[in-house]
């Protein structure tokens, strides 16, 4: 099983692509510890949808880094994606993030959506607020 040290949601990806130093620092810290960074495909797609041209390039570079693991949407996730996103204001990207994080040993999540993730993950889940 892959050891993840951090998970990034859409807003964290957009912050990174805007050269937010804290996000980049945490990505580097996870890599330094030999940990992968979990990036759900739906979060990356959503970030690309909202990105400026300069941000687009940064997202492409991020996805190519060896310690970034873009996780796919699998067919057996559809029931949970639909149900969890309903509880999270229709945010499929956040639902995939929550599912991916919950299927691994506790992975800290970087986001500005703590309250929405609290709808499906335990309140004590490690959240790093943007």
Give 17-76 pLDDT, tens digit per residue.
Answer: 998 789 999 999 999 999 999 999 999 999 999 999 989 999 999 989 999 999 999 999
Is 88 a residue whose pLDDT tops 90? yes
Q: According to the model, what pLDDT value does residue 3 have? A: 87
Model pLDDT for residues 98-111, shown as the tens digit of each residue:
999 999 888 999 99
Instruction: Write phi, then psi, for 37 (nearest 5 degrees).
Output: -110, 120
Which of the two residues, 34 and 1, has the higher pLDDT score? Answer: 34
pLDDT, averaged across the chain:
94
Is 118 a residue whose pLDDT tops 70? yes
Residue 71: which of 19, 20, 124, 2 has the closest Cα?
Answer: 2
Instruction: Write phi, then psi, for 129 (nearest 5 degrees).
Output: -75, 135
Residue 97: pLDDT band with limits 50, 70, 90: very high
Residue 84: pLDDT band with limits 50, 70, 90: very high
Question: For residues 93 and 74, what is the distance between their CA atoms, to the nearest angstrom?
Answer: 13
Beta-bridge mates of residue 68: 37
Residue 47: which of 84, 115, 87, 93 has the closest Cα?
Answer: 93
Exposure of 16 by Cβ count < 10 A (0-12 exposed, 13-18 middle, 19+ buried)? buried
Q: According to the model, what pLDDT value does residue 23 have? A: 94
- Give the H/E segment covering residue 97: helix 92-102
Q: According to the model, what pLDDT value does residue 91 have? A: 95
Is 1 a residue whose pLDDT tops 70? no
The fold adopted by the segment(s) 4-129 is Rossmann fold (3.40.50)
């Amino acid at each position: 099983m892959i050891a993840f040290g951090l998970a990034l949601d859409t807003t964290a990806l957009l912050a990174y692509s805007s050269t937010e130093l804290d996000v980049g620092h945490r990505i580097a810290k996870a890599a330094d510890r030999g940990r992968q960074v979990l990036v759900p495909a739906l979060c990356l797609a959503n970030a690309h949808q909202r990105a400026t041209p300069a941000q687009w390039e940064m997202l492409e570079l991020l996805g190519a880094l060896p310690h970034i693991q873009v996780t796919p949407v699998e067919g057996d996730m559809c029931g949970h994606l639909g149900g969890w996103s309903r509880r999270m204001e229709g945010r499929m990207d956040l639902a995939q993030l929550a599912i991916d994080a919950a299927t691994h040993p506790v992975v800290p999540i970087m986001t500005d959506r703590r309250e929405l993730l609290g709808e499906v993950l335990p309140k004590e889940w490690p959240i790093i607020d943007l």
